[in-house]
A = this chain, B = another copy of it.
């Protein structure tokens, strides 16, 4: 499939115009655009502009409320529960992580759980918000059920990413991974590219392996059984129960602690909104001693790993966040890739209302 390479700055202008056109303020549109394009810049194509079509659908059908404001439901010096009232996920999420950061700066740690929210982009964006303030940041979200528990054939958990960012030099350690083998977005990319998915990623409605991305996605939407496997695969022998358990931890911190919905009750098809829940944690690692020493020791450890012996045939060991940092530099220069299907979606949504992003 042919790729178009879009100039970053004109894509920024395009997205900003698009979100403003729905009724978001200039500042809100800027926030949403920043999170959205962070995914493309980081090379996480699945969560970037290929999701514009989904956001457009959710906003124009009213699943995402343009006017709703997040409400604080419960608060202690350390914690906060927020009802997002189905506002745009990125907006509630940024506010939530800002609250967690504020609490961490005051008392050492802040934990914010958000309910009745929507898709918020990449979890790592919010964890990195804390890291930019020299704090340890953690972020999790549940999603519509997509993960089949070990020995099951009905999706009961979401993709459930866990993100953690910790300041380090020269590159921030930034981990952001679905607790499924792959996120749903990766199947969407395979479906758009009309490629079969590797065995071990997903199962059909009977619980058997499937290579058919559109079918797996269709089954998930229609809730007809089957879904994506937890990290570790379908068997306990390969640790499938571990990915399933990590997914449960995510449900606990998001759907349960927020008093919201668990993934099995989240439904994109409902008119009353998705009800996705999120969790935002900021920790001042100065609670454990001299921050300069801790940061240096961590940076040194990352450097030792990067320079450790490579497996035969391999030339480089990455630490988490390095690939994304390099990708950001490259994509600002060489453009953001968009496949033909995504380009079509963007053209349709733009519908001559705004100038399309400039191709390189």
- Pick from B76, B157, B249, B308: contact of A287, CB below 8 A: B76
Q: With a CB–CB cut-off of 8 A, which chain B residues contact A173? A: 248, 252
Q: In the complex, are the beta carbons of A207 and B314 less than 8 A apart?
A: yes
Give CA–CA (A256, B298) in the complex, Å.
6
Give the interface size class of chain A.
35 or more
Task: Tell yes or no: A150 within 8 A of B by CB.
Answer: yes
Q: In the complex, are the beta carbons of B153 and A309 less than 8 A apart?
A: yes
- Pick from B150, B251, B264, B318: contact of A150, CB below 8 A: B318
A211 to chain B, nearest CB (A): 13
* Best-surrounded residue of A73, A225, A256, A310 (most CB of chain B within 10 A): A256
Q: With a CB–CB cut-off of 8 A, which chain B residues contact A198? A: 237-238
Q: In the complex, are the beta carbons of B233 and A238 less than 8 A apart?
A: yes
A15 to chain B, nearest CB (A): 29
In the complex, which residues 237-284 of chain A have their Cβ closer than 8 Å to any Cβ of chain B? 237-239, 241-243, 245-246, 248-249, 251-252, 255-259, 262, 264, 283
Q: In the complex, are the beta carbons of B150 and A305 less than 8 A apart?
A: no
Task: Tell yes or no: A326 within 8 A of B by CB.
Answer: no
Q: A109-B111, A148-B311 are in contact. List 8 more A-B contacts (CB 8 A).
A: A149-B308, A156-B304, A175-B248, A178-B242, A181-B238, A207-B313, A225-B309, A248-B319
